[in-house]
Amino acid sequence: MITIGKLAKKLNINIETIRFYEKKGLISQPLKPENGYRLYSEVIAKQLQFIFKAKGLGFTLNEISSLMLMDGNCKQVESFGLQKLDIIRHKIADLQRLESVISEMTNSCKTNQDQSSCPIIDSLK
């Protein structure tokens, strides 16, 4: 059991980050004793690590909350993961289309002989 300051230092995060996750309901706030500081357990430290790892994989806070509730239900987590993977693949396809369009637009600048106009600006008007 450690204080919020020591927990923040241990995880290399800001105290306000811990409070934010408490307010969002992702972790529970320990009860405050009459005399003293709230003490955070190793369970909360592990929950915070889970949150940071999931965020690193692109999960939103709402998705992370859902994942935390699914703990122990691998089939449900698998289905959730496949849905997330589908979203990621669609985003990649959208980004590849954007890359192609912007590449074509910038290539049109290379061949532009009219210095008074820009093909990219003209196409956006």
The pLDDT of 113-117, averaged and rounded, is 82
Please write the tens of the pLDDT for every residue from 36-83: 888 999 999 999 999 999 999 999 999 999 999 998 899 999 999 999
pLDDT-derived band at 103, boundaries 50, 70, 90: very high
pLDDT-derived band at 115, boundaries 50, 70, 90: confident
Lowest mean pLDDT of 2-6, 52-56, 59-63, 105-109, name the range.
105-109
Contact of 45 with 11, CB cutoff 8 Å: yes
Query: 40 - beta bridge partners?
Result: 2
| Phi then psi dihedrals of residue 96, to 5 deg | -65, -35
**CATH number listed for the domain at residues 1-69:** 1.10.1660.10
